[in-house]
Amino acid sequence: MQIVVVRNAFTCILSAVVTNGCYYIGNIFSLRASPQQSLPELLTATLIWTVLSYCGVMLIAHVPSLMTQRFLGRPDYRPGVWFCMKKLMKGSIRYFAGSMGAMICLIVLVLHTSLMTKFFQFKLHFYLGDLCDLTFSAGIALAVRRIYYQETCEGRSRSLTVRDSVKHIDAANSAPSHRTKRPKAAPTRRTASFWREYLRKLPSAVLVALAGGYVHAVSSYRILDRGQVVIVLFAVSTVLLKIGLQESAKWYIIKKGVQSIRTMCVLVGVPTVLIDTQTRILMVGTQTNTLVMIGTIGMAVVEVCTRSAKALAIIWTIRRQAKAVDEKLHQLSANTMQAEVARHMKRSPSSSSSPSPSSLQLEFDLWRRQVLSYHTAEQTADMYAEYISIGCSQSIMFWFAGHPYYPALKFNTTSTLSDLGAWRLGKLGLLVFQFVVQVLVDYICVVVEMAVGIEFDHIKGLSGFLGVLFMAMAVITINISASIYLG
């Protein structure tokens, strides 16, 4: 499993590096490097690249859902990536045009108002651009739904089933009125509406805005200028914040009875990528290799201890609950025997509303499966997130350290370009070091977790979903960082 995680994470990091390189180029038509471009020119290019990268990764993210289908025109053909990609591009081209048009209007608004001057520090262009990107999110969701119901065998079958059910209900409702009870109307598939889908996708845009607000707060505080003690304190606080968010997600999943492992992975992985990326950016930005190595080893030790403690706590909780269930089952068995004796002696036993043994055992099995599913989803998503945060942070610092328009990612002003190049090469070595440490951490943690009885079998089938999910997360993290740090 770890090999699959590393392979998928490498693909996600490669996507982040390419996206970061596009942001660094800026305006490709200026024929000048981005440090020689003007701030309005670079901002325009940044917002355009945001639309292109976001739409591209959303397009790729929806391809796997179509690859599992059979299409009406070629029911015996297993669709490939390019086949599904062409259908998605054809179905979503107008929404891409709408998203790009909205972003161009936003660029004109920003460049000709005080959003470019007095209010630039509030990064309103990022938050408004988030709403422009949402246009494509809603549009491609509608395109996928239309392709599914109109062009796939499974979707057409479901659509015809609903239609036949509606006809049957209509015929029953039009029967003679002497019937006192008419059948209820069958549920129908709602007609697709762009604005309804836009509102349905709005919470995801709010989450992106909150993530941008977190990065905005970190960059505005200029932690790199406040010394190593502040950086260490910030790193410790972010670790505590990440653990708190993960435990909150766990409480929500158990409280609401969430069964979807995919939802669990999203709730755990998204905050981990964002928080760890910003923490590692600050460690890399200290320009002190010793501090980066100490911080990496420190985070590794904390992760090993935390994951081992969580695994032991999970097993202890399950065993304690199993013991309590066994005691209840024995009590129920004793009560049943007493009731049988009382009935045999013709006594009227007292009525009892206690649950049956089978329902108790079923409830425990469902709870146990949910707890183990969340734990494996949490750890798998955390492994992906750690690799991607390493790659994203190194990529951001590699491209933008010392850039005049990214003051929060500073580099020693007295250094020359050759010093900056040597520094970048040194960071590549640190990237390899961090990856090796993380691989060792994951190996140790997986061995410990499997030794105490936790299995990862039911998560293996989600490697494709996790790869697409964290590829999108890597690109969105780069989009947020490149837009917010620009100043």
pLDDT tens digits, 322-333: 888 888 877 877
Burial class of 148 by CB neighbour count within 10 A (0 to 12, 13 to 18, 19+) = middle
pTM: 0.83
185 has pLDDT over 50: no
Per the DSSP assignment, residues forming a β-bridge with 71 are 152
Amino acid at 273: V
Q: What is the mean pLDDT of residues 471-477?
A: 91
Q: Report the C-alpha gap between 327 and 313 in whole angstroms.
A: 21
311 has pLDDT over 90: no
Average pLDDT, the chain: 82
Q: Residues 6 or more apart from 405 whose CB is under 8 A from it?
A: 34, 35, 39, 42, 486, 487
Q: What is the mean pLDDT of residues 9-27?
A: 90
300 has pLDDT over 80: yes
Question: What per-residue confidence (pLDDT) applies to 103?
Answer: 96
pLDDT tens digits, 264-279: 778 777 888 888 888 8
pLDDT tens digits, 382-400: 888 888 888 888 888 888 8
pLDDT tens digits, 418-429: 666 677 777 777
Q: So where are the chain's domains?
A: 1-20+223-342+356-487, 38-167+192-221
Question: What per-residue confidence (pLDDT) applies to 323?
Answer: 87
Question: What per-residue confidence (pLDDT) applies to 353?
Answer: 54
Question: What per-residue confidence (pLDDT) applies to 430?
Answer: 79
Lowest mean per-residue pLDDT among 19-28, 125-134, 376-385:
376-385
Q: Report the C-alpha gap between 390 and 418 in whole angstroms.
A: 25
Question: What per-residue confidence (pLDDT) applies to 234?
Answer: 84
Question: What per-residue confidence (pLDDT) applies to 137?
Answer: 94
Question: What per-residue confidence (pLDDT) applies to 174?
Answer: 62
Question: What per-residue confidence (pLDDT) applies to 19?
Answer: 93
